[in-house]
Amino acid sequence: MKNKSSYENLQQNVRKLKTPEIEVWENQYPDKDYVISIEIPEFTCICPKTGLPDFAVIKIDYSPDKYCVELKSLKMYTIFFRNIGIFHEHLTNVILDDFVKWCKPRWAKIISEFNPRGGIKTVVSREYKRK
């Protein structure tokens, strides 16, 4: 693979990234199946290769169980990434893992739509369904 070494070790510790806690509040309708959709249209992080900013729309759809996400806390969580160098694919996985950890939803889906870079638009999505 050409230029593999130029990307090597850039994200080796991404799974150990210490992200902020996402606060939740108690759902008063845990007996109901419904979906909450959240859109974060001004998300930014850093390209770990170039150091340049990446801009994206992050979409979160989830079906709450006992807890719902507290939106100000989610906003502060997303701001954390402004100075973090992270690949699009890794970012989507980190957000979903953290969201599931704190909110414990029945089901959740994260869609990260990154603005075009070099004429290429990237969309990464991942879904979680409780077993």
Which sequence positions are flagged as catalytic? Answer: 47, 54
- Cα distances from 127 to residues 4, 48, 119, in angstroms, run 29, 25, 27
The Cα 99–Cα 109 span in angstroms is 10
* DSSP, res 93: H
